């Protein structure tokens, strides 16, 4: 599994403008287990951005965003797409939406494992 950490909100906010139309995309696999993505984290970011005056025009939850076949979509709404996924997910969105500004919401820090209790262990740091 890929291990990720949230990029601080202030850093993400510094890369967008209030008049941007923002779309949010989240993987629902590794980042969900890391508690850095999935529907819940994407919804939290949408609410926080809305509260700060930003316009959210779309949210997409993708099963496994590093799998290009699962990411394929006709269009991504928004001028800016914020991606809750590993570096591979961000790269896939960039390939499919080359005309959009694509920003990661997460840092990919390495690979890891998850035990039966749901605890994550970092196996190798990138």
Q: State mean pLDDT over 45-72.
A: 95
Domain 2-111 has CATH 3.30.70: no
Residue the block writes with tokens 């967008």: 16
Query: Which residues in 42-64 are b (16+ Cβ under 10 Å) and which e?
Result: beebbeebeeeebebeebbbbeb
Q: What is the distance between the alpha carbons of residues 74 and 51, in angstroms, rounded to a whole number?
A: 29
Kind of pairing between the strands at 101-104 and 55-62 = unpaired
Q: What is the pLDDT of residue 6?
A: 97
Q: What is the pLDDT of residue 73?
A: 72
Query: Please, are residues 41 and 84 in contact by the beta-carbon 8 Å criterion?
Result: yes
In the structure, what pLDDT confidence band is assigned to residue 67 with cuts at 50, 70 and 90? very high
Query: Please, are residues 46 and 12 in contact by the beta-carbon 8 Å criterion?
Result: no
Asked if residue 33 has pLDDT above 70, the reply is yes
What tokens does 5 get?
């950490």
Q: What percent of the chain clears pLDDT 90, i.e. is strictly above it?
A: 93
In sequence order, what E strands does the chain have?
2-6, 21-27, 55-62, 80-84, 101-104, 106-114, 120-125
Asked if residue 74 has pLDDT above 90, the reply is no
Asked if residue 75 has pLDDT above 90, the reply is no
pTM above 0.85, yes or no: yes
Question: How do residues 80-92 score in pLDDT, each as one tens digit?
Answer: 999 999 999 999 9
Q: What percent of the chain clears pLDDT 70, i.e. is strictly above it?
A: 99
């Amino acid at each position: 599994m890929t291990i990720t950490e949230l990029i601080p909100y202030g850093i993400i906010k510094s890369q967008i403008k209030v008049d941007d139309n923002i779309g949010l995309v989240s993987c629902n696999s590794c980042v969900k287990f890391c508690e850095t993505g999935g529907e819940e984290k994407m919804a939290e970011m949408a609410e926080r951005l809305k509260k700060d005056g930003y316009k959210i025009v779309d949210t997409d939850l993708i099963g496994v965003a590093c799998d290009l076949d699962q990411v394929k979509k006709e269009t991504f709404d928004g001028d800016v797409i914020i991606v809750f996924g590993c570096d591979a997910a961000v790269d896939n969105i960039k390939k499919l939406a080359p005309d959009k500004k694509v920003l990661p919401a997460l840092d990919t820090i390495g690979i890891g494992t998850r035990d039966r209790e749901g605890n994550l262990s970092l196996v190798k740091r990138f």
